[in-house]
Structures are given as structure tokens and as C-alpha cells.
Structure 1
Amino acid sequence: MEIRGKAALVTGGTDGIGIEIARHLKAGGASVIVAGRDPVRLEAARSEGFEAIAADLSDIAGCDALVAALEGRPLDILVNNAGMGADYDVNAPIDLGEVDRCIFLNLNAPIRLITGLLATLRARPEAMIVNVTSGLAIAPRAASPVYCATKAGLRSFTMALRAQLAGTGINVMEALPPVVETRMTAGNMHKKMPAPECGRQIVAAIAAGRNQANIGLTGVLNAVYNVSPPLARRIMLRF
């Protein structure tokens, strides 16, 4: 896909992987809108030259408001990047409200945004939907069952959506990052990929028109899974 001249929306686009995707798209000549919740980070994005829209995508109203804000505007690239984790340990207190917000933001929100913006994307000569999942969509980690479930669900949805849109002008790409240095992974002691490099690789995959981008060590995990799914699961459950 030729990025120059395209109009892009990046959700969760004011921080972490999202802002790096936005920066690389902008550097490639795209006009980029970022959506996020934090007023300070939204203003910081505006200072970099991005159009920034305040949007809480953890509920229906926030998703509908973002779709409405884009009505009548061209959109070539939709990057569903917004996400969060939720603690879930049966041996400790569980906040089901936080669990519900995680499920909605990570899985429901991308589905709602795609549905609401699909007609706009269909109207473009070429378009792309990018769903950012995780290496944990391939094999789960015992410490993050809800997060893993949402990313596995989004992975399945992405595959099925790609099949439905085959032969149209819309390509559907899944980006699977490894552990990346972001605020969300601050407590994770494993080796992390720098967010700028993750963003660079995702945008490179968009430009190449790929269907799947296994970023960093996710490529190794995917290779192990293709040879032995049980082995990949055993490794990741202990990760």
C-alpha cells in the first residue's frame, strides 16, 4: 500500500505502540488522526501535528461518538490499537468491572469501529484495516488469561473478516507484537522491544500490504506453534 496521501486513524494513538505507529505513518506522508483518553497526551499529540480526538473506547457510547466524529471524512487506514490488561487470578480478588472494560476495549471496540467505518473504507480505491493483537493471541500466558482471550478472539475475528473482504479493495492485516516497552508492561521483567521499533515494523508491513506481521520474537513463537502447538502453549503458559 502507498502510505503517502492516505488518511489514517490510530486508536490508542497517543501513547506506547500507538503513537509510534502514528509517527511512522505521518513520516510516510499520511494524514493521521489519533484517538485517546488522556487530555495531556492528546495535547502532546496535537503539538506534534496530529489531529487528536478524545475517545473512551471502553464502552458503546465512546465507540459510537468516534464513528460519528469521522462521518463524511475519507479514511484509508484504520488501526485498531487501543487495548488494556486486566488482572485475573482466581487466588486473589477479581474486579469484574475491570475485566468487562478489558474485554470491551480489546475486542468489542475494534468490531464496532470496523462495522461503523466499513462503508467509508469501501469507498476508497484501496484501504486497510490493521488489528493489533499480540503474540499471546497465538498461545496464552497463565498470568493474563483475560487479556490473552481478548487477543485470541480478535485474531480469529481478523482471519474471518479477511476472508469476507477477499477480492475487495480492503486488506485486513493482523499485527502481533511481542512484549513492548510501554506503560502497560511496566511491571513485566522480560526483555522488551522498544516501542519505536515496533511501530516501525508495523508500518513497514502496512506499506508492504501484508496480511500478518509477526513483530520481533513473535515470529519465533509463530514458527514454534506451526511445528508443535502443545510446545508453544507450554512455553507461553510459563512465560
Structure 2
Amino acid sequence: MDLRNKLALVTGGSDGIGREIALQLQAAGADVIVSGRSAEKLQAMAALGFGTIAGDLSTPAGIDAVVNGVAGKPLALLINNAGVGSEYELDDIATLESAAQCIRTNLDAPIALCTRLLPVLRAQPEAAIVNVTSGLAIAPRAGGSVYCATKAGLRSYTQAIRHLLKDSNVRVIEALPPVVETNMTAGRAGKKISTHDCAAEIVRGIRTGKSEINAGMVKLLQLVHSISPALARRIMLRF
């Protein structure tokens, strides 16, 4: 995809991976709108020349704000990047709201945005949807059951709509990051990829026409999974 002069929307684009994706899309010549929850971070992005939309995608009002924010604009690239973790604990009923918020943000919101913005994407000569899932969509880790479930659900949804849109002008891409150095992973031990390097792989995949972008160590996980899904699950459940 030639990104020059394309209008892109990056949800969760004021921080973390989303911010780096937005910066690199802008450097490639795209016009970029970012959405987010932090007024301060959105103001900083606006100062860098980005369009901004304030909205919490765990709420219907936040989804409405994003849809209305691009209404009437020639949107050609939708990047569903916004995501949150969950404090869910299997034996703690009080954490069910955290689980629900994770599901609303990570799964319900991308489905809603794909559905509501598809007519706009169809109206462009060339368009794409990029759903950012995770290596944990391939095989889950026990410590993040709800988060993993949302990413696995989004992976399944992405594969299904890719088939539904295969004869259209809208490409459907899945990006699968590994563990990335972000606020969400702060305090976690182990090897992490930088947001810059992760975003670079995603943007490169969009430009070169990939349908699935496996970033960093996810390439190795995919290889293990292709040989033995059971082995991949055993490794990741203890991760």
C-alpha cells in the first residue's frame, strides 16, 4: 500500500505502539488521526501535526466519538490498535468489571469500528484494516487469560472478515506483536522489543502487502506452533 496522502486512523495512537505507528505513518507521507483517552497525550500529538479524537473505546460514547471524528473524511487505513490489560483473577468476583472493560476495549470496539467504518473504507480506491492482536492470540499465557481471550477472538474475527472482503478493495491485515516495552508491560521481566521496532515491522508489512505481520519473537512462536500447537501452548502457558 502506498501510504502517501492516505488518511489513517490509529486507535490508541497517543501512546505506546500506537504512537510509534502514527509517527512512522506520518513519516511515510500519510495523514494521521489518532484517538486516545488522555487529553494531555492527545495535545502532544496535535502539536506534532496529528488529528486527534478523544474517546474511551470501552464505552459506546467513545466509539461514537471516533466514528463521528472521521465522518466525511476519506479514511483509507483503519488501525485498531487500542488495547488494555485486565486485573481479572479467576477466584475474585470483584475483578469481573476489569475483565469486561478489557473485552469491550480489545474486542467489541474493533468489531464496532470495522463495521461502522467499512462503508467509508469501501469508498476509497485502496483501503486496509489492520487489527493489532498479539502473539498471545496464537497460544495463551495463564496469567493473562481474559487479555489472551480478547486477542484470540480478534484474530479469529480478522481471519473471517479477510475472507468476506477478499474480493473487495479493502485488505484485512493482522499484526501480532511480541512483548513490547510499554506501560502495560512495565515491571515484567524478560526480553522486550521496543515500540519503535515493533511499529516499524507493522508499517513495513502494511506497505509491502502482508496479510499477517508477525513481529519479533512471534515469528519463532508461529514456527513452533506450525510444528506442534500443543508444544506452543505448553510453552506459553508457563510464560
User: Fold match, TM over 0.5?
Assistant: yes
3-state SS of 1:95 partner: helix
3-state SS of 2:52 partner: strand
Query: 1:180-199 alignment to 2 at 5 Å?
Result: 180-199=180-199
The equivalent of 1:160 in structure 2 is 160
Which has the larger displacement, 210-219 or 43-52? 43-52
Shift, 1:91, TM fit = 4.5
The equivalent of 1:207 in structure 2 is 207
The equivalent of 1:132 in structure 2 is 132
The equivalent of 2:98 in structure 1 is 98
Indicate conservation of the 8 Å contact 2:205/2:213, yes or no: yes
Indicate conservation of the 8 Å contact 1:87/1:94, yes or no: no
Whole-angstrom CA distance in 1 between matches of 2:93 and 2:216: 34
Letter aligned with residue 134 of structure 1: S
3-state SS of 2:34 partner: strand
Whole-angstrom CA distance in 1 between matches of 2:65 and 2:41: 19
Percent identical among aligned pairs is 55
Letter aligned with residue 60 of structure 2: I
Letter aligned with residue 215 of structure 2: I
The equivalent of 2:227 in structure 1 is 227
Which has the larger displacement, 143-152 or 180-189? 180-189
Indicate conservation of the 8 Å contact 1:88/1:143, yes or no: no
3-state SS of 1:76 partner: strand
Whole-angstrom CA distance in 2 between matches of 1:60 and 1:92: 27
Indicate conservation of the 8 Å contact 1:125/1:169, yes or no: yes
The equivalent of 2:85 in structure 1 is 85
Whole-angstrom CA distance in 2 between matches of 1:94 and 1:229: 33
The equivalent of 1:119 in structure 2 is 119
The equivalent of 2:31 in structure 1 is 31
Tell me the matched-pair count: 239
The equivalent of 2:47 in structure 1 is 47
Letter aligned with residue 63 of structure 1: I
Whole-angstrom CA distance in 2 between matches of 1:65 and 1:41: 17
TM-score by length of 2: 0.98
Shift, 1:5, TM fit = 1.1
Whole-angstrom CA distance in 2 between matches of 1:16 and 1:227: 32
Indicate conservation of the 8 Å contact 1:11/1:79, yes or no: yes
Letter aligned with residue 187 of structure 1: G
Indicate conservation of the 8 Å contact 2:54/2:65, yes or no: no
Indicate conservation of the 8 Å contact 2:9/2:32, yes or no: yes
Whole-angstrom CA distance in 1 between matches of 2:158 and 2:168: 15
Residue 91 to residue 190, structure 1, CA distance change in 2 (3 Å): farther
Indicate conservation of the 8 Å contact 1:5/1:31, yes or no: yes
3-state SS of 1:143 partner: helix
Whole-angstrom CA distance in 1 between matches of 2:190 and 2:81: 22
